[in-house]
Structure 1
Amino acid sequence: MCTFDLKNATQQDYNNAYSDLAQIGMRKVVVGVDGNGAGTQRVIPTTTVIADNIAGTSSDQVATVFRNAIGAKFRARRLKSEIFVVAGAQGFWAADRT
């Protein structure tokens, strides 16, 4: 899961950011299972994205890989941001600014 802030960003900047995040498997909608076993889509809070079924040797590695990938995407667009990534049940995290 990643939450982020963009500084002095336009709506197009946010659209571009979400497009870039989708390219690395992160999205704004999650599908959960309700009490009847049916899949239910839920939109998560604004400026938060999530990915699931990510391959990695450890949660801290996954957090670091995503932090680096997100930072690279935002830097390429010259977005000023604060990024916070959490991975795994133990909540390993990695943060960055661009």
Structure 2
Amino acid sequence: MVTRQIVEMNQYFTNDTKPGFIVLYEKMITNEISFTPHGIQEGRTEIEEYVKILKDNEGNTLTEIESYRLDNNYQSLEDLLYSIKQLNKEFFKVKEMAV
């Protein structure tokens, strides 16, 4: 059996996303456990970090639009957040230029 626990969660770009969209960071611990005659035995433990783009369905539910895993493709969380903003411009407000 696999268990997952969210141990950290943060919302990013709260003032930059279009209404109804949320950018959420989640850090979770995944454990493989098994039941033996001697009790519960823990197997492999893994820490996973994700940044997800969610759509708020009028306050009732959230739908996952995109999910990005923080792994070797990104040097840091900041690098991943920058990439998300560049790759998903349709979910972000357009900054108006001053005249």
TM-score normalised by the chain length of structure 1: 0.29
More helix by share: 1
Whichever structure has more strand as a proportion of its residues is: 2
Larger radius of gyration: 2
